[in-house]
Amino acid sequence: MEDAHRLIRADVTQLTGEKNLIQWDSSLWGYLNIYDLQNYILQVIDEPTSAVEKKEWRVNRAVISAMISNSLSPAVYERLIARGWDPREQNPKVIYDLIKKVLPRVTQEAVMDCVIEYSIIDRTTFGKMQDFLTRLRYLYKKIEELKAGVTEAYHTNLLVAKLKKTYPDRFLFWVNGLKEKTLTWEKLNQELEEIAASEEAAPKFSKVNKEAEAKVKELKDTKGRRARKLCDKCSSQIMETWEYKSCGHHAPKDKSDCWWCDPSKAPNSWPKKKEAEELKKKQGATTAVVVHNGSGLANPLTQTSSSLLFAPNFFIPRIDPKEAQ
């Protein structure tokens, strides 16, 4: 019951409509999962017979329902009311199911966000293996719902590539399994569950956990400017330290000038300077925006779900066969 009370203060992403349905769903599910209350929105939980359990059941339902209601934007709230929702409803599954029914499950922007995150999610960004697996499987489920024809072998290869840095020794065995076609998606996931259980069971300051945490921290620290994010303006993948400029290009946050627009202000150390100067000459006196490699001006929203899966943003890091020898 105490866990349910804490959920009242949970900062669940506000649901504004179809555009951020996936993010909202992930945020809500994540908070409920922390306290093992996710079943209240996934299935019908019958009222217990015990007085103590019955009280806890009622509180859990009421708190989760309130948490969902509080996360709705006014526009979404009104849409649900128009579809017959009673705000006094105490069964959280009722409102959760209605939201999924009223709001289209997958929009083009939601598809893009999901696909991009699935392609770049990495074990190094999660403190625990179990947290990584939870998020990975959620995204995997969303990818499967697209019915874009992605094979199990593709998923398995991609997952192995995501584990290379944190588990280099096991990685060699996994690569051999891929080559010999003995490593399946199910088998790999079972092994990862064993790793997760081992990490959870080990004392916090044991050698196993200290080495795992140190490895994750080291990989995070050395990521530097290679870390990427989604631009909040055009949804392109850009460097974490960059932002969208008024000219339509992306550039470092601490730079007021766009080097692509004015290459003369770029330092000689910038690897794209020569390319920018050549593009500037070709552009001449026209005012058309120059689309250059890495500018992020191309709009992936115009792509289909199938093409998104095989776009440049969606890739498997190369696995060198020699590493398996």
pLDDT confidence of residue 233: 66
How far is the CA of 90 from the CAs of 62, 79, 209, in angstroms? 5, 19, 42
Q: Which two tokens stand for residue 139?
A: 């995204």
As to burial, measured by CB atoms within 10 angstroms (0-12 exposed, 13-18 middle, 19+ buried), residue 306 is: middle
Question: Residue 264: what pLDDT?
Answer: 83
pTM (2 d.p.): 0.39
**Spans of the chain below 50 pLDDT:** 1, 222-225, 285-318, 321-325
Pick from 41, 26, 29, 34: which is nearest to 6 by CA?
34
pLDDT digits (tens, 9 = 90+) for 63-86: 999 999 999 999 999 999 999 999
